[in-house]
Structure 1
Amino acid sequence: MNIGLFFGSFNPIHSGHLIIANIMAETTDLDQVWFVVSPQNPFKKSASLLHEFDRLDMVNAAIYDNYSLKASDVEFNMPKPSYTVDTLTYLFEKYPDKKFSLIIGEDNLKSFPKWKNSHFILENYQLYVYPRPDVQPSDLFSHPNVKMVDAPMIDISATFIRKCIKKGLSIKYLVHDSVAEMIQSKKYYF
């Protein structure tokens, strides 16, 4: 089984994440897409992060009816900050019957050489890349393990959603209805 790993803070998970994950599951050779909820991204500050279990609950609520998508808490018990290469190594050892690939935005491909052990990842794993707006082309496009996926260019950010919530504006259509209900009932990001 070929699993696409979609790493992120998902703070909160939004329609852009869901659209990209579904396109990956429907239009590529990936059998499933796992949303790997990151407790702490090494490149982001953690001050505005909702607790990881709350973010995992929102991911589960958003994808409950799609069997091609799965939420993963694999990084919750790993050293923080979590690095993709360590998570890949752990999953490879835990699930030797599965093939793992990465799903990343075109903006992350440009900065990919800065990732811990990026050369090892690139040589041993497929990267499924979705387009992002206003990104300079990467030299990695020609690498045989990099696959550009035809997907809509979506420019929705969790930061924008959190700002809307703080201002009391509607987030309808930006997030799944079940996620909006959780945010409202639990007063997340207020």
Structure 2
Amino acid sequence: MKVGLYFGTYNPIHIGHMAIANYMVEFTEIQQLWFVVSPQNPFKNKKHLLDDFQRLELVNRAIENDERFRACDIEFRLPRPSYTIDTLTYLKEKYPRHEFYLIMGSDNLEHFHKWKNYEMILNHYQLLVYPRPGFQPENIQPHPNIHLVEAPLMEISASFIRESIATGKNIRFFVPPKAWQYLEELNFYR
């Protein structure tokens, strides 16, 4: 099975994530997409990060029963900070029949050369890169394993969601309905 790995903190998951995930499953060769919930991104501040299992629950509620998607907590059990190469190595050993693809925004690709063992990732995995505002595809160095995907441009960010909630804005339609209910029930980001 061809599985796309969509890494993120999902703090919180929002409709932009869901639209990209839907596009990847429907318009690329992957058959399933796993939302890999990252406990700690070495490049991000942990100050406003919800608990790991709360973010995993948000993802589970967002995807509901859609069999094209899966919430993945594999990085919760790996050493921290988590590095993509370590996760990929572990998943390949655990699921040897799966072919894993890495899904990332063009903004992440711009800093990809700073990732741990990025050459190994690039040489052994396909990267499906979707556009992000302000990051032009023409700035990306060509490589046979990097595939630019014509996904819709999403200008929604998790920081926008958090800041809006903190200032009392109702942004319920920016978050999948069941994930929004969970945010409301537990007063997250207020």
TM-score (norm 1): 0.97
For these two proteins, the number of residue pairs brought into alignment is: 189
* One-letter identity of the residue aligned with 2:46: S
1:180: how far off? 1.0
Q: Find out whether 1:111 has 2:93 as its counterpart.
A: no
Q: Find out whether 1:94 has 2:94 as its counterpart.
A: yes
Secondary structure at 1:188 match in 2: coil
- Residues in 2 aligned to 1:38 and 1:17: alpha-carbon distance in whole angstroms: 14
Aligned equivalent of 1:138: 139
- Residues in 1 aligned to 2:153 and 2:17: alpha-carbon distance in whole angstroms: 11
Q: Confirm or deny: 8 A CA contact 2:109 2:140 kept in the other structure.
A: no
Aligned equivalent of 2:162: 162
Deviations 1:32-74 (A, max 9, x none): 0000000000100111100010000000000013210110000
Aligned equivalent of 1:4: 4
1:66-85 to structure 2, matched below 5 A, reads: 66-85=66-85
Secondary structure at 1:173 match in 2: helix
CA root-mean-square deviation: 0.9
Extract structure 1 runs of 4+ deviating beyond 4 A. Answer: none
| Gap runs ≥5 in structure 1 | none
Deviations 1:1-22 (A, max 9, x none): 0100000000000000000001
Q: Confirm or deny: 8 A CA contact 1:109 1:138 kept in the other structure.
A: no
1:139: how far off? 3.7
Aligned equivalent of 1:183: 183
* One-letter identity of the residue aligned with 1:7: F
Secondary structure at 2:111 match in 1: helix
Instruction: Give the share of equivalent positions with the same residue, in percent.
Output: 51
Q: Confirm or deny: 8 A CA contact 2:104 2:128 kept in the other structure.
A: yes
| Gap runs ≥5 in structure 2 | none
Aligned equivalent of 2:39: 39
* One-letter identity of the residue aligned with 2:75: E
- Residues in 1 aligned to 2:84 and 2:186: alpha-carbon distance in whole angstroms: 30
Q: Find out whether 1:174 has 2:174 as its counterpart.
A: yes
TM-score (norm 2): 0.97
